[in-house]
Amino acid sequence: MTTNTTHHNETEIVADPNVPTIVLTREFDAPPELVFRAYTEPELVSQWLGPRRLTMHIDEFDARTGGSYRYRHVDADGSEYAFRGVFHEVRPHDRIVQTFTFEGMPEGVSLEKAIFEDLGGRTRVTTTSVVDRVEDRDAMIASGMETGIRESFEQLDELLDELLEELA
Amino acid sequence: MTTNTTHHNETEIVADPNVPTIVLTREFDAPPELVFRAYTEPELVSQWLGPRRLTMHIDEFDARTGGSYRYRHVDADGSEYAFRGVFHEVRPHDRIVQTFTFEGMPEGVSLEKAIFEDLGGRTRVTTTSVVDRVEDRDAMIASGMETGIRESFEQLDELLDELLEELA
């Protein structure tokens, strides 16, 4: 995929000084139905989730209430970073609530809630991640998640453009 | 079951003023293997979880990593309070990480982590619940959870006594 320069949607990342949350807000130039598909269909998820330099391998991605997921990001020298969790609730076009663990730190777990808002053909996605200690939240931010998130969302912009073209 | 007056284990409930967590600490006069069974086997869970005045009905309780659960507390006039979630991780005799929603407030979700510590034949269970807003945590406390927790743990003391007697 080539970088699409027509998008100017900004990713807002807010870390509350007291509460151990990370709140991401991002708008997409596609309707909630399509953005929701990109978040839940594994063959679409694999095309955007993760930093550009890593290859995504999905082992399991059952995005239904009660389903589980596991995927790995693999870098050029073969190092793997695996992530897993369960879907507490998947409510079509509206919300996804899931748990999230980086298997390299198996004691760490976050609860992630993505809300999809219809802006009239466009979509605002607000994702709130919470852990039980401010230090753990700060470690997540220090891990370089911001680059991964921005690149993921740019790749999602590109995927949504392709899907919109296919549907046009 | 009759109230057993030989137990003097106290339940400690801590709500951090800033971080939206509730931390429960409780010791039990039984080894971790047995306490873990009482937390994961549905026919045992149904005997202790919930306030004394409510009857427990388990619809599903698959306490394995990736499993789901749903149960209902029913009061004398037939009113039902249903709860559901998924098990992010169930690590035998060590930890249970699960999500938790009261179906009467379906937008609310907490992440609950129970850690089992071996005190040499006795067990300390530390449960940390986290939500993403301090107000929501305060609402959980205001709902009268404390009585339900203390009564649950008293019933668990009684159940563990019975199980220890059976095993003796």
**Tell me, what's the ipTM?**
0.91
- Distance between CA A149 and CA B16 in Å, rounded? 30
Q: How far is CA A53 from the centre of its chain?
A: 16
CB distance from A134 to chain B under 8 Å? yes
Task: Provide mean pLDDT across the span A77-85.
Answer: 96
The amino acid at residue B89 is E
- Distance between CA A139 and CA A157 in Å, rounded? 28
- Distance between CA B103 and CA B81 in Å, rounded? 7
- Distance between CA B95 and CA B168 in Å, rounded? 26
Task: Provide mean pLDDT across the span A36-41.
Answer: 98
Q: Which of A162, A142, A164, A126 is nearest to A48 (CA)?
A: A162
Q: A83: which residues sit within 8 A by CB, 6+ positions away?
A: A70, A71, A72, A73, A100, A101, A102, A103
CB distance from A88 to chain B under 8 Å? yes
Task: Report the SS3 class of residue A29.
Answer: coil
- Residue-wise DSSP of chain B: -PPPTT--PPPEEEE-SSS-EEEEEEEESS-HHHHHHHHH-HHHHTTTSS-TTSEEEEEEE--STT-EEEEEEE-TT--EEEEEEEEEEEETTTEEEEEEEETTSTT--EEEEEEEEE-SSSEEEEEEEE-S-HHHHHHHHHTTHHHHHHHHHHHHHHHHHHHHHHH-
The burial class, CB within 10 Å (0-12 / 13-18 / 19+), for A5 is exposed
CB distance from B163 to chain A under 8 Å? no
Which residues in chain A have Cβ-Cβ distances shorter than 8 Å to B134? 19
Residue B108 phi/psi, 5° resolution?
-90, 135
Q: Which of A88, A149, A26 is nearest to B131 (CA)?
A: A88
pLDDT band at B8 (very low <50, low <70, confident <90, very high): low
The per-residue pLDDT for B142 is 86
Task: Provide mean pLDDT across the span B30-55.
Answer: 97
A32: tokens are: 């909630």
The per-residue pLDDT for A3 is 43
> Across the interface, do A18 and B21 touch by the CB < 8 Å criterion?
no
- Distance between CA A109 and CA A101 in Å, rounded? 5
Is the predicted pLDDT of residue B143 greater than 90, yes or no?
no
CB distance from A82 to chain B under 8 Å? no
For A106, which residue in chain B has the nearest alpha carbon? B89
The per-residue pLDDT for B17 is 82
CB distance from A85 to chain B under 8 Å? yes
- Distance between CA B7 and CA B52 in Å, rounded? 17
> Across the interface, do A88 and B66 touch by the CB < 8 Å criterion?
no
Residue % of chain A over a pLDDT of 70: 95
> Across the interface, do A86 and B66 touch by the CB < 8 Å criterion?
yes
Residue B161 phi/psi, 5° resolution?
-60, -45
Q: How far is A102 from chain B (nearest CA, A)?
A: 12
Task: Provide mean pLDDT across the span A86-103.
Answer: 97
- Give the residue carrying structure tokens 């073209």: A165
Q: How far is A151 from chain B (nearest CA, A)?
A: 25
The per-residue pLDDT for B7 is 59
User: Do B130 and B107 touch, CB atoms closer than 8 A?
Assistant: no
Task: Give CA torsion, residues A12, A17, A21, A25, to 10 deg.
Answer: -10
Going from the C-alpha of B30 to that of each of A19, A109, B116, B146, the distances in angstroms are: 36, 28, 11, 23
Residue-wise pLDDT tens digits, A123-163: 999 999 999 988 889 988 888 788 899 999 999 999 999 99
A124: tokens are: 């605002």
pLDDT band at B56 (very low <50, low <70, confident <90, very high): very high
> Across the interface, do B87 and A88 touch by the CB < 8 Å criterion?
no
Residue % of chain B over a pLDDT of 90: 80
The per-residue pLDDT for A14 is 92
Which residues in chain A have Cβ-Cβ distances shorter than 8 Å to B60? none
